[in-house]
Structure 1
Amino acid sequence: MTHSGTHPGTAAFWDAAAGTFDEEADHGLRDPRVRAAWAARLAAWLPPGDGRLDTLDLGCGTGSLSLLLAEAGHRVTGVDLAPRMVERARAKLAGTGAVVTVGDAAAPPVGERRFDVVLSRHLVWALPRPEEALARWAGLLRSGGRLVLVEGRWSNVPRREGTPWDGGVTATELVAALRRLPVPLTDLQVDPLTDPLLWGKEITDERYAVTATRAPT
């Protein structure tokens, strides 16, 4: 959710937004109908099976998607660049066993750990070197693990210099980038997210999720 990167003002910007971040319907998931809609989508994106999954939520913001994962019985690690966002996520996830860390989601501080799921929402488009980050994330997956990227192209906003995908990234662009990664990914799928219930309002821009599986080795 909150944007990671190397710009020195990024953490401060999202720290300032932390107090009101959850007021957006798709951020706080306070409406039970919105919450249920995201829970259903998230369950559909995870790898098949009934076991507990090791999940990594990058740019986790205040931890709303992390909480859905924890409530579904999965082991959750969250990473966000903004300390105030992390404070709120830790409070939201208290008692679940989830671990939330301050760090750069583009280069997650997880050492040699590997995960069944690497998730990010509204993060990739804001990174200064998104393909490098995607390669790192794919490398954090176990064989058969699932990469889940919730992204969009924001109302065809003109792009500015600074990040390759400023203003958002189309599904076509993101899938092409994933196919270029040195880590082999299979079963790339695009799930359009046009249901207003997910956002608490009607939308006119392109919103979607891309899922990809790390090829068995």
Structure 2
Amino acid sequence: MTGLDTAVTAYWDSASASFDEEPDHGLLDPRTRDAWRERLRRWTPGGACDVLDAGCGTGSLALLLAEDGHRVTGVDLAPRMVARAKAKFVAAGLPGRFLVGDAARPPVGERRFDVVLVRHLVWTLPDPEAALRAWAGLLRSGGRLVLVEGRWGEAGREPEPYVPGGEALPWGGGVPADVLAGAVAPLAREVRVEPLDGDAALWGRPVDDERYALLAWAGA
């Protein structure tokens, strides 16, 4: 593990205690929870499928997917995040598999998935394009990659690094939709971008920065 990996793990482990206080993290408001549930249903195929939640955090989105009958595997670098995700599933009486590991290189062996879901992760990665290739490689034929991303903060203003060494991250502070779409396009047969910044219910408040979902379909 590199020094940056150590710093990132420590940061998110520390953040786990208060992580769910953010409206779009904990989904404690029924309106926010319902808004994410509706989007996930739109982004996932009909019927039960195998979903990998890469960078699952405390498992809020994974739980919504499991409640709809999907078979969920979650991966996160921060052990305390994973522990909280597991506890949510135990409390709900739902099956789920959670692993501590690098979400950019999920430790899932030969398993393949119908959906790989990644929310607000690529900006934290030292090599996000390698992660995109890894996630695309985990899809079954016809599967889909769902990336919920954005460009955080004020337009034209670079955010401060969130960990020591974070200034070297290529997409630190987020990534515009056109840049991410250009990186994903060679890996997919179809790419579609869905703006999300206009849906205040998803975030628990109005937002004025760029937020979107990018959906990419693997070859049939």
The answer to whether 1:89 aligns with 2:85 is yes
Normalization by structure 1: what TM-score?
0.92
Q: 2:55 is matched by which residue type in structure 1?
A: G
1:3-14 aligned at under 5 Å gives the runs 7-14=5-12
The answer to whether 1:192 aligns with 2:192 is no
Flag as ranges the 4+ runs of structure 1 deviating above 4 A: none
Normalization by structure 2: what TM-score?
0.91
2:120 alignment counterpart: 122
> Residue 212 of structure 2: which of 200, 208, 211 is its match?
208
How many positions carry a matched residue from both structures? Answer: 207
1:158 alignment counterpart: 158
1:56-67 aligned at under 5 Å gives the runs 56-67=52-63
Deviations 1:180-202 (A, max 9, x none): 34xxx122111100211110111
Distance 2:185 2:4 in 1: 25
**Larger helix proportion of the pair:** 2
2:33 alignment counterpart: 35
Distance 1:112 1:64 in 2: 26
Distance 1:112 1:6 in 2: 28
Q: CA RMSD in A?
A: 1.4
SS of aligned partner of 1:70: helix
1:7 deviation in Å? 2.2
SS of aligned partner of 2:5: coil
The answer to whether 1:174 aligns with 2:172 is no
SS of aligned partner of 1:93: helix
Deviations 1:111-147 (A, max 9, x none): 0000000001000121110000000000000000010
Q: 1:165 is matched by which residue type in structure 2?
A: W
Percent identity for Structure 1 against Structure 2: 62
Gaps of 5+ in 1: none
